[in-house]
Chains A and B, each alone.
Chain A
């Protein structure tokens, strides 16, 4: 059976409630344009967090801050409860943050093995590559994790020869191989067929089973709703909503999203309005 599930989870599942990453009061502007305003949220270990928001809501800037590409103007970033100052890409990776971009993180003209080991090749003394070992590991990953059984695919196949789903699989397997703790999926379903999307969502559920965390960014509420434990809604650079998925039905989340897009405000769906605000479960709050 071709699967996109991670192999044997080597990580032990962490205790419930441990925070994998936390952002506190993050502000970020680019040349006077405010992109993020007072953004705070937490990602617990073993949690899949859906990040929803329109184009320009600040999703990708937020992700680039977590991955160390951009530094925030002010605010704190904490990994496992420890504050990290001036986070760099290398540091973020060392802390287990791994991004799965659909196309942007693959080099099309390069072979599968060069893509798997992009940015951290296995090398011997003086930076010389251990090509044989990287090819061998790629063959193993192709067979076990990617479910690539097509005869046309070899470790030396160039990415140009892969379908959208295969590319996605390659990027995901790469993240898993490097034992990422926090996997960031940036619009992973874009351009995928229904069948390939199912495979992908199945895999995202596997991330939780393995005790790892994921941030799942997508325009498609249906995809996010089906896999996320919690949803954070970004609107014009602010957190407009942060709630556990189980609290609302899919229709209610859709309604919330529509309301946020129109007014920028979080409006409690009707069914919950009767409930006293004080008795709400934690985190089911609007903008803080």
Chain B
């Protein structure tokens, strides 16, 4: 038997060792994506200095990236739990139907925002109920609701657009899309949501359970984890975040058109996977999704600014995405074992 003194020594040695070692194992993937981000950024500065040394491009990124980065952050949690949600672009539109209904009847923008969030929550709940109670894979359910929610949006407003000029002048609008010390509020909200999501995923029961469910569902069942409830909550959170992004996007352009959000499906998914989240569940990174979203957001602008022919845009897009996920795969094998 080891003596107590020896035990204490072993323990403190273990405690010391993991502070250094765990840094590498836990963060390898995140350091990788951060380095890739910086390299890409430096390349853009070198090749298009006029654009990338000007503050305006960053103000533009800070405004437009959150529209798909917000759903992508919560989508990361869903993917960690082993599910997926492809319907969020349509929830951005459907939430706005709730917004318009309340805004046109009461004129209260704050109430209208709450209505949009409630509609988003309901849409997420419906996804979750189909997935967990009827037992259809999330991929299939949310392809269905991607069409369903967009169709409902179009049908409910007869395909019309609505001007949001008055709503844009409201106090609420300043809180959502105004500026704070010159920083677009969209970006401020994104950072707040990112911090909140990080805490939920790594420092809260919900995230702990999401990880176990995504990694080993039979084990989660054996250990008494509330699988159904956890999965539904995650879908609801994506719904709320998407509706919120839909409101910000519509207010920014002072107009609601029923196609809002339609182009964000692939950029958001790309952000999640470029960031290093595993498509198989059980492992994900909020920091990676955050950085990934800005990489995806910057590529388009960067390529145009570098003066490369527009035909090559998607080629470079695809190349960068493949390079990023390859880096993750290699780092994963080398460090995280």
Contact = CB atoms under 8 A, between A and B. Distances in A.
A167 B199 CA distance: 28
Contacts of A161: 337
B14 interface: yes
A144 interface: yes
Interface stretch (A102-110, A231-239, A250-258): A102-110
B42 interface: no
A152 B171 CA distance: 56
B278 interface: yes
Contacts of A143: 7, 10-11, 14
Given A108-B215, A109-B283, A151 B25 contact: no
A149 B9 CA distance: 12
Nearest to A3: B1
A242 B221 CA distance: 30
Interface stretch (B91-99, B154-162, B204-212): B204-212
A131 interface: yes
A194 B138 CA distance: 43
B336 interface: yes
Interface stretch (B15-23, B103-111, B127-135, B291-299): B15-23
B5 interface: no
A123 B205 contact: yes
B170 interface: no
Secondary structure at the B interface, as helix, strand, loop or mixed, is: helix
A152 B13 CA distance: 12
Contacts of A119: 209, 212, 220, 223-225
Nearest to A99: B222
A154 B17 contact: yes
B282 A109 contact: yes
Contact of B219 (A88, A104, A156, A158): A104
B11 to A, nearest CB: 5
A161 B25 CA distance: 11
Interface string A83-121: 000001110010000010100111111110010011111
B25 A118 contact: no
B336 A158 contact: yes
A108 B336 contact: no
A107 B215 contact: yes
A106 B208 contact: no
Contacts of A107: 211-212, 215-216, 219, 282
B2 interface: yes
Contacts of A198: none
A106 B216 contact: yes
A129 interface: yes
A139 interface: yes
Contacts of A131: 203
A88 B283 CA distance: 29
Contact of B205 (A93, A109, A110, A127): A127
A121 B208 contact: yes
A160 interface: yes
A89 B203 contact: no
A154 B11 CA distance: 11
Contacts of A93: 224
B189 to A, nearest CB: 22
A105 B215 contact: no
Interface string B157-177: 000000000000000000000
Interface size class of A (residues with CB under 8 A): 35 or more
A139 B17 CA distance: 11
B206 to A, nearest CB: 7
B209 to A, nearest CB: 8
Given A67-B222, A89-B221, A108-B282, A139 B216 contact: no
Interface string B274-289: 0000100011000000
Contact of A101 (B203, B222, B278): B222
A156 B224 contact: no
A128 B203 contact: yes
B26 interface: yes
A151 B224 contact: no
Interface in A237-278: none
B226 to A, nearest CB: 9
A169 interface: no
A140 B223 CA distance: 22
A142 B216 CA distance: 23
A67 B11 CA distance: 34
Contacts of A157: 22, 25
Given A105-B222, A129-B203, A139 B14 contact: yes
A33 interface: no
A154 to B, nearest CB: 3
Given A108-B215, A108-B216, A129-B203, A1 B222 contact: no
A154 B25 CA distance: 10
Contacts of A1: 1-2
Interface in B282-319: 282-283
A89 B222 contact: yes
B25 A158 contact: yes
B182 interface: no
B208 A114 contact: yes
A118 B223 contact: yes
Given A114-B212, A120-B223, A129-B208, 13 more contacts: A1-B2, A69-B221, A109-B215, A109-B278, A109-B283, A110-B211, A123-B205, A127-B206, A128-B199, A128-B205, A149-B10, A151-B17, A157-B25
A-B CB proximity, top 5 nearest: A119-B223, A154-B18, A156-B22, A107-B215, A89-B224
20 contacts: A67-B222, A89-B223, A93-B224, A105-B222, A105-B223, A109-B215, A109-B278, A110-B215, A117-B208, A119-B223, A121-B205, A123-B205, A127-B205, A128-B204, A140-B11, A144-B7, A149-B10, A156-B21, A158-B25, A160-B336
